Amino acid sequence: MRMFERWMAIPGILAAIAFAGAIYKWVYGEHALGTSAVVPWGSLIAGYAFFAAAATGVGLIGAVGHLSGKPALASLEKRSLFLSLALLLSGFVLIGVELGNPFHLVYVVISPNFQSGIWWMSFLYTIYLVLLFIECYFSQVDPANKNLKLVGVIAIVSKVAAVCTLGAIFALASTRIFWSGIYFPLYILLTAVLSGAAALILSLYLTGNGKGKTVDSHVMAALSKIMAVTIVLALLFTAGKILYDSRSGISALQDAAAVLVSGPLAVRFWGMEVVVGMLIPLMLIFRFNLTRVVIAAIAVLAGVFFMRVDFIMAGQIVPQVVVEGVQHVVYHSYSMTWTEWALIAGAFAASSLMYTFFEKKFNLDVGK
């Protein structure tokens, strides 16, 4: 236990550095980020998409496990709620820092634009957050409440709708052709479940071991199966997208695909996204062993984070054709600043600190 508490100093320090990053962003605004007029969305948007999608994935696994009654996943019911809450709050903090004027958010309510994807995503994730609070509350106060099943079903619908709308924000940005279409809403739903399973494995291992409890191998096996299936599907999705875009005959699509396959993002795409994020975890969980599964989960989380960054960057660094025949640069430049790294690391730290707090303060074991 003491050893575990000492380990918690690491996320504590990271959260403090992230706080310094947030202050720096507050003072220097856009200058604190690597973004520009031609690459307006950077790693903080990717980070928000990562945390919001992972929160949704965790929630979906918990809710489906509970409703289906499968013993291995049903035991995750309460933990998935609280982990989902920790991840979602971290994501919201990240997007709050990214926004230029977060105090104007009240206008999302009093001056709504129903045509905007961001408006719908804000609406659905707010509903999701409220439902999460209700579910967390009742899981502690009155877990046998009959209405909880109905809340759970509504929560599943809101989770799927919220994460698909998050994908649709990109899909509906018609000027960024690489993001367009039905691909990303489906892909983000799929990889939300992938990152959700990985986050659950890691949190169960860390908090379980820390409390001296044995980690339930049935639960870990079920989660690693979910990871394996979603990795295979994600590989197929990625291969399909790259092949289609490369052979589409549309230059903007071909250029964006080339950015990932052989351009400036190639090392990260092949190294972090494909090898670390998908192939190594797949090989590790091929034979079940707790340590291998935990390493696979860490690799998946790293891979999915870079998956989000790469997707957002590939859609922006290929210059738009505004005036036919004019191209100043081959690619627009973007690199993450220390502020962005600090905030992303801080979001990971904040979610782990929050979840550890929940694990300590609340009873997250099912049936107690």
Partner 1 sequence: MPHYAMLIDAARCTGCAACRIACQMQWQLPPEIFFNRLEFREQGKYPHVQQEIVPVQCMHCDHPPCATVCPTQATYKRDDGLVLIDESKCIGCKYCVVACPYDVRQVNERGIPEKCRFCAGHIENGGQPPCVTTCMNTVRVFGDLDDPDSEISRQMKEKNVYRLAEYKGTKPRVFYVKNGG
Binding site for partner 1 (CB under 8 A): 29-30, 35, 37-38, 40-41, 99-102, 104-105, 107-108, 111-113, 115-119, 122, 169, 172-176, 316, 320-326
**Environment class of residue 319 by beta-carbon count within 10 Å: exposed (0-12), middle (13-18) or buried (19+)?**
middle
Secondary structure element (H or E) that encloses residue 358, with its range: helix 338-361
Cα–Cα distances (Å) from 208 to 45, 146, 204, 217, 325, in that order, read 32, 30, 5, 12, 60
With residue 229 as reference, give the H or E element that holds it: helix 217-246
Nearer to partner 1 (CB atom), residue 118 or residue 233 = 118
Q: With respect to partner 1, which residue has the nearer C-beta, 108 or 154?
A: 108
Shortest Å distance, C-beta 27 to partner 1: 11
Residue type, 45: I
Residue 154 CB, shortest distance to partner 1, in Å, is 23
Nearer to partner 1, 214 or 335 (CB): 335
Secondary element (H or E) of residue 10? helix 9-28
Q: Greatest CA separation found in the chain?
A: 69
Q: Which is nearer to partner 1, 118 or 134 (CB)?
A: 118
CB of 15 to partner 1, least distance (A): 24
Q: Give counts: helices (H), strands (E), the chain.
A: 15, 0
Q: Which is nearer to partner 1, 16 or 109 (CB)?
A: 109
Cα dist. 176→179, 278, 316 in Å?
A: 6, 26, 7
Nearer residue to partner 1 within complex by CB, 111 or 214: 111
Output the smallest distance, CB 165 to partner 1, in A.
Answer: 12
Helix %, strand %, coil % of the chain (to 5): 75, 0, 25
As measured in angstroms, the least distance from the Cβ of 363 to partner 1 is 38
User: Which amino acid is present at 121?
Assistant: M
For residue 117, the minimal CB distance to partner 1 (Å) is: 7
d(CA 170, CA 145): 39
Minimum distance from residue 237 beta carbon to partner 1 (Å): 23
Tokens of residue 106, six digits? 């009240």
Question: 37 vs 144, which CB is nearer to partner 1?
Answer: 37
Read off the amino acid at residue 146: K
What value, to the nearest 5°, has the Cα angle with vertex 356 and ends 208 and 18? Answer: 135
Residue 133 CB, shortest distance to partner 1, in Å, is 23
Least Cα distance to 339 among 100, 96, 93, 23 occurs for 23
Cβ at position 155, least distance to partner 1 in Å: 23
d(CA 205, CA 210): 8
Which residue matches tokens 């307006």?
40
- Closer CB to partner 1, 36 or 363, in the complex: 36
* Closer Cβ to partner 1, 117 or 208, answer by number: 117
